[in-house]
Chains A and B, each alone.
Chain A
Amino acid sequence: MNLDGCAHLRSFKTRKGTEPFRIVHSYFIIAASQEARKRKANSCYCHMCKQHRPRLHACLHCVFFGCHGARHIHEHARVKQHNLAVDLSYGAVMCFSCGDYVYDRELETIARDQRRKAAKNGQVKELCCPWDPTSAEIELLQRNPKRRKITESSTIGLRGLINLGNTCFMNCIVQALTHTPLLRDYFLADRHNCQMEDNANMCLVCELSRLFQEFYSGVRVPHIPFRLLHLVWTHARHLAGYEQQDAHEFFIAALDVIHRHCKGQNSESETNPHHCNCIIDQIFTGGLQSDVTCQHCRCVSTTIDPFWDISLDLGSDDARNNNNDTVNRGTSSGKLNGCDNHPESTTLTDCLKRFTRAEHLGSSAKIKCNACQINRESTKQLTMKKLPLVACFHLKRFEHSTRYHKKISTYVSFPQYLDMTSFMSSRRNDNGYINGTIAEINSDNNRYALFAVVNHLGTIESGHYTCYIRQHKDQWFKCDDALISKATLQQVLDSEGYLLFYHKQFLEYE
């Protein structure tokens, strides 16, 4: 883009400097403060037709706003011989003598700096602007003329991982993470600003950045993730050692370390200081609502807790005995409860129904009711208050008790697309039951698509982890450590899932 403006703008700048532009841009385009917005709302209308019209322009020579649609700004320019005006939506300068917008390096810089400053103070959002390569980047591009274009059949992004001695539990989580669409966008856009500058080689987020580069470099030989393993051992000591670990436990530990290493980087949102805004929490955090209803006075006490994953019982003939640790946040690992009669097969939807149904806590687990002021028998119901962008379902296949450790091989069928509407808090009616009818809620927003499945093969003593990941919307691949092979959707859906990863189909933004 030509950033030298035009002769008219240059002559204007010699006479009046950049101050007129600076004022218009800061008062009427950025309008960062409440006061400025009020002024903008009251004064930004076309002075000729007296309306708020789209593409309003401000004259740079005098105080005049005119719309573009009815050509009132053109008329002003002609009559008053004021040939320069600023577009109030984007800040581009129109030169009526040239008959087009002109771009001036100095004014562009002023505009960008004003926006950055306001964005830093949290007053406005930074515009996602097109990439403007620096001279160093241009040189780099010229020295490396080879370009990689991603086509439908491209295998870029697929890479095997060497097993470093029972580290398949880590490899399959790495495969799932590197194929999480939003996480991939974050890392490939190089968005991580390291908070551990003096000690950046200890930062797990930096290591993940490198890993994404490795995965998407186009190299086909398997990658050796020893640095990652070393970092995980350092930061999550309970996972150190060469024994087989639980992939789910590793997943939660990895999220926790990444979340901790992101801290400080705009991690605290203005609205709620306890709500973390790091990339992990943006993608994986959902809100789980727990409603405890007093059986005596029907009074409901509600709490909402953040979660990174949902651990689901596979069901048994006797009801759930407890769901105290069905939700994980941070390093606490999901403990599993013991019940013996497991069904041959069940479905993910059934597991979710069980998870969200109201449950009697029984007479031995009385809870203090705020209204009655004494301990009462209660029911408890969990529902989804806020859906995460990526939902991870953990099927509780491992049973540990003092007497035995065993694996449950119940077949759990799970869909390619999942609608979470019926498990949401908004669907729960006052009786504590979930409405069976499709409500007016826009269920498009609650639809998820499967993108990764982690499988555990074999027994609890000698098992092996593999995973399926989705590439290019509908192609599936099986990752077995260093080995990557093509798979069909049917194979994925027929597999014995342990961790199921779904992402939201229609994103909402805060």
Chain B
Amino acid sequence: MADLDDKKPRDMRMKEKINQKLIETGEKERLKELLRTQLIECGWRDELKVHAKEIVKERGIENVTVDNLIAEVTPKARASVPDAVKKDLLQRIRTFLSQQPGL
């Protein structure tokens, strides 16, 4: 792995390291769960659910795959995440990183 690591640009290695730390400590799962709850609470999930249902209804369940649905709802889904939720998540990741020695 060492020689391979050297070829990667620096920030990519950093990203890998951060990701590893997030998984190792279980923080990633905690943040995911938190994000999930916040998105449910602000109505984001319900709104997308309706949207996805409409797509399925329109085309018939036989003609839609999960991947089709993901491709179709992702732009809207990304765009409609409330800023406050994004800000909060970012802040939490920052706090987490600042508490990690050796990063």
Contact = CB atoms under 8 A, between A and B. Distances in A.
Interface of A: 31, 37-38, 40-42, 44-45, 50-52, 92, 99-101, 124-125, 127-128, 442, 444, 506-507, 509
A45 B17 CA distance: 12
B20 A100 contact: no
B26 A37 contact: yes
Contact of B25 (A37, A42, A99): A37
A509 B23 contact: no
A336 to B, nearest CB: 39
28 contacts: A37-B25, A40-B23, A40-B24, A41-B19, A41-B21, A41-B24, A42-B20, A44-B23, A45-B16, A50-B4, A52-B15, A52-B16, A52-B20, A92-B66, A100-B66, A100-B67, A101-B65, A124-B29, A125-B30, A125-B33, A127-B33, A127-B36, A128-B36, A442-B91, A506-B84, A506-B88, A509-B34, A509-B37
Contact of A444 (B15, B29, B34, B84): B84
Nearest to A508: B88
| A interface majority secondary structure | loop
A444 B4 CA distance: 44
A92 B65 CA distance: 13
A162 B9 CA distance: 72
Contacts of B84: 444, 506
A42 B1 CA distance: 11
B41 interface: yes
Interface string B52-74: 00000000000001110000000
B14 interface: no
Contacts of A99: 65
B2 to A, nearest CB: 12
A37 B23 contact: yes
A101 B16 contact: no
A31 B66 CA distance: 25
A124 B31 CA distance: 12
A38 B24 contact: yes
Contacts of A40: 23-24
B9 to A, nearest CB: 12
B37 A128 contact: yes
B97 interface: no
A442 B19 CA distance: 26
